Chain A
Amino acid sequence: MRATLRRRSTIGVATLAVAALALSGCAATEEEATSDADCSAYADYLGNEGTEVEMYTTIVSPEADLFQESFLDFEECTGITINWNGSQEFEAQLPVRVAGGTAPDLAIFPQPGLLAAMVATGEMVPASSAVAASVDANYTPDWKNYGTVDGTFYAAPLGANVKSFVWYSPKTFADNGWAIPSTWSELLALSDTIAATDVQPWCVGFGSGEATGWVGTDWMEDLMLRFQDAATYDKWVSNEMKFNDPKVAEVLAEAGKILKNPDYVGDVAAIATTTFQDGGAGIVDGSCAMHRQASFIGGILAGDYGAEIVTPADTDVEGGITTFYFPGVSADNKPALGGGEFVGAFSDRPEVQAVQLYLTSADWNNKKASLGGWFSAHLGLDTANVADPVNAVAVEILQNATTFRFDASDLMPAAVGAGTFWKEMTAWVAEDKADKAVLDAIQAGWPAS
């Protein structure tokens, strides 16, 4: 007994030693690999050799790998090491770290609402004049505005996504002779046409773990931009217009025409228990025809459900999916709803500002986009670098949109935007809660100040 125990532990040590050898072996090759990048492009960021910058973010592997890959030349040339620190608990942990005095150098904010809360702590550093100038030159004023709190510009835009998309299968549409609708009433008419067949017109899934309901908020926002004007949308976001205002009620009623119609979506209550990933899967297997979702769902459907992202002209690809623009009330009403991330600094060390500045450069944005699956609102972003056909359309929408508005729930205070708004939209479908009760409850949850 004793002997076997000892032998086993010897084997253990041996395994460990082998593992250690293997690890150091890998490490050696890693260090040998050098980049042959041309460093002249990085002249603006020099003078910070041997420094490190921590970047705290919600973005984790596999997306994070592409980010780190895009930084390699920069790190090589400037000697700044970017320490990518991705955490799914970012939203909860960032306030804790800031309050505890261990704020990261840079934080990538997925919601401007959280940015405002962090600025209120007094720990954030306004963007340098170089960063501000670069953002002025490279982004539309809307985008700078979302990184601005109380008139001071803090956070530079990073990635972007466009939400005003309806995903569909060009093959299914072509086989059935369905035409792409260009107005809201045409969309409803098409839904009726599809409902008469054995295909379900819409697939919807609100489920997303603790964030269940955010899909519903996106529907509300897209329709708010269509049935009300942009100024009303802004008043809604700031609660200058109350959440239970008749104008909001009108929008919710319009959303209900699709989301609460069993002829269109099947089992309405089950929307709440269907994950947003599964929700989209129906358009791949042909069990439903349309799915309203942001640009990013393409990657999920392609990766996990065997879809292929194609252009609307590819009507012969089995499992091919693409998008049409989520139509407005009239054909010439084309607002765009989107979202994005913003990079804010908690330190004014020169290397931190250099990294923040580099992320606003056309060089980095094109480099990152060419790695795939990503785009930004950078005006210098060449659509040729965006391989995915849907993302390319999204970039065009971003660069040309007459009215672009940011995801409202990300702008609202977290208690609403990541709280009651999600919960009440979920209750709206799951418990068939009445429109008025839903809106009253969200308004009641709006923070006092």
Chain B
Amino acid sequence: MHVIDLVARKTTWEIIAPNLITLISGLVAFAALVVLIFLLAERTSVKAQEWVKYLVFLVPALALLIIGLIYPAARTILLSFMNANSEEFVGVENYIWAFTRPEILQVLLNTAIWVFVVPTVSTFIGLVIAYLTDRMKSAAVVKSLIFMPMAISMVGASIIWKFVYDYEPSAKKVDIGLLSAISKGLGMEPPNWLLENPLNTFLLIAVMIWIQTGFAMVVLSAAMKNIPDEVVEASMLDGASQLKRFIQITIPMIRASIVVVLTTITIGTLKVFDIVRTMTGGNFQTNVIANEMYTQTFRSLNYGTGSALAVILFLGVVPIILYNIKQLRLERTER
């Protein structure tokens, strides 16, 4: 079969070369531009140099911000008030659609469940593990085990968990689902896990918690290391119990870190897409905003409804970010 070899007619080098040349010429052009700017800056007066300094540092950042963030955001908001192919304005019709169609209401409800459950549970578990391992001998081993899921991509994690939730309808075939095996071991007839609503949403949430707990644990554990020993010792001398020390010393001392962890996980959860798409494709009433946004925009080619969902998602993130910024400011003034 000589033909298969013939298919790739270009050598690897032939494919790489033009890209490499583009890359090198791009770098050279950039270097030339930088040199030019410095040369020009040197020739101007001291006062003008001040301005050139601002320009040189601000313009690239501003330009990227406008191209990459402000323009797309403004355009998305604009598109959300237009029809499917962005030709005419339809007012708030897309938003009415989002808040009246039962399947979209289900999407919003599911997203709310995700946003409530994932940050609280993963932060709580992370906090407890961080506290329990704080003065442990082989803490590193435990922590790395719990942190490991962070290193797995969402799609990878979803596929792993899909095997856990696997259900085999035929009694004649081999059942590979771990959860089914456990419930059979306990003498229960396993349901078709990913079909049972609302259980299935929580099963998907478990995947996200599995991933995020490691993150919460690492950040909170680092914060706990920063608690001065004097404080802990003083409370011990005062006769505070373990639980009391945890609630009245540890938690208040790492409050800022807890807020950061909570808000970071919340934002990550609002954006959750991969898990739902990989495990159920948004079927069986497990859909969430980000997945529906993609489906509307890139499958149904309805840029109006897709953008409206994007804006709703955006509005959901804004208060969390504002709260986060406020907390950071508070932190700074306290210091």
**Residues in chain A within 8 A of chain B (CB atoms):** 20, 23-24, 26-27, 29-31, 33, 35, 65, 68-69, 72, 81, 91-92, 95-96, 117, 120, 200, 209-213, 266-267, 269-270, 272-274, 282, 287, 413-415, 418-419, 423, 426-427, 430-431, 441, 444, 447-449
Q: How far is the CA of A31 from the CA of B11 in the complex (A)?
A: 9
Which residues of the other chain, A, contact B103 by a CB distance below 8 angstroms?
Answer: 423, 441
Q: Is B284 an interface residue (CB 8 A)?
A: yes
Alpha-carbon gap, A419 to B295, bound state (A): 8
Are B7 and A23 touching (Cβ within 8 A)? Answer: no
- List, in ascending order, chain A residues with CB within 8 A of B300's CB: 413-415, 418-419
User: Given B3, B83, B101, B173, which contacts A444 in the complex, CB threshold below 8 Å?
Assistant: B101
Asked if B2 is at the interface of the complex by the 8 Å CB criterion, the answer is yes
The 6 closest A-B pairs by CB, nearest first: A27-B11, A415-B300, A270-B169, A92-B298, A267-B169, A210-B281
| Number of A-B pairs, beta carbon distance below 8 Å | 114
Given the known inter-chain contacts A69-B4, A419-B300, A431-B197, please indicate yes or no for A31 contacting B9, CB distance below 8 A.
yes
| A23–B13 touching, CB < 8 Å | yes
Answer whether A69 and B299 are a contact pair too, CB < 8 Å, given A210-B282, A269-B192: no
17 A-B pairs in the complex with CB atoms less than 8 angstroms apart: A23-B12, A26-B11, A30-B8, A31-B11, A81-B9, A91-B298, A210-B295, A270-B169, A270-B192, A273-B194, A414-B301, A418-B300, A426-B283, A430-B283, A430-B284, A447-B84, A449-B84
Q: Which residue of B lies closest to A444 (CB)?
A: B101
Q: How far is the CA of A210 from the CA of B286 in the complex (A)?
A: 13
Query: Are B277 and A23 neighbours in the complex by a CB distance under 8 Å?
Result: no
Q: How far, in angstroms, from A448 to B305 measured CA to CA in the complex?
A: 13
Query: Could you tell me the distance between the alpha carbons of A411 and B4 in the complex, rounded to whole angstroms?
Result: 35
Q: For the complex, give the distance between the alpha carbons of A209 and B13 in Å.
A: 37
Q: Which of A72, A272, A414, A418 contacts B6 (CB 8 A)?
A: A72
Q: Please give, as numbers and ranges, the residues of chain B lying within 8 Å of A444 by CB-CB distance.
A: 101
Contact with A24, one of B6, B11, B281, B283 (Cβ below 8 angstroms)? B11
Whether A65 touches B283, Cβ cut-off 8 Å, given contacts A92-B298, A415-B300, is: no
Distance A112 CA – B167 CA, assembled complex (angstroms): 36
Determine whether the beta carbon of A287 is less than 8 Å from that of B283. Answer: no
- Please give the distance in Å from B87's CB to the nearest CB on chain A: 10
B101 closest partner in A (C-beta):
A444
Nearest B residue to A84, CB-CB:
B7
Which residue of the partner chain, among A29, A209, A266, contacts B281 with CB atoms under 8 Å? A209
Q: Which residue of A lies closest to B287 (CB)?
A: A423
The distance in angstroms between the C-alpha atoms of A274 and B167, with both chains bound, is 9
Contact pattern, B 157-201, Cβ under 8 Å of A = 1, otherwise 0: 000000000010110110000000000000000001011010000
Chain A residues positioned under 8 Å from B284 (CB to CB): 272, 426-427, 430-431
Of the residues A23, A95, A211, A266, contact of B11 by C-beta under 8 Å: A23
Contacts of B76 in A (CB 8 A): none
A441–B195 CA distance with the chains assembled, in angstroms = 20
Q: CA–CA, A212 to B295, complex, Å? A: 13
Q: Please, which residue of chain B has its CB at the minimum distance from the CB of A28? A: B11
With known contacts A27-B12, A415-B300, A441-B103, A423–B3 Cβ distance under 8 A: no
| B195-A430 in contact (CB<8A) | yes
Residue B226 is within 8 A (CB to CB) of chain A in the complex: no
Given contacts A91-B299, A210-B277, A274-B169, contact A68 B13 (CB under 8 A): no
Bound form: Cα–Cα A341–B194 in Å: 34
A273-B167, A273-B192, A444-B101 in contact; A69/B7 too (CB < 8 A)? yes
* With contact pairs A27-B12, A30-B11 given, residues A69 and B3 touching in the complex (Cβ less than 8 Å): yes
- Give, as a whole number of angstroms, the nearest-CB distance from A12 to chain B: 18
CB distance from A60 to the nearest CB of B (A): 13
Enumerate chain B residues within 8 angstroms of A212, measured Cβ to Cβ. Answer: 281, 283
Task: Flag whether B302 is at the interface (Cβ < 8 A).
Answer: yes
Contacts of B282 in A (CB 8 A): 210, 423
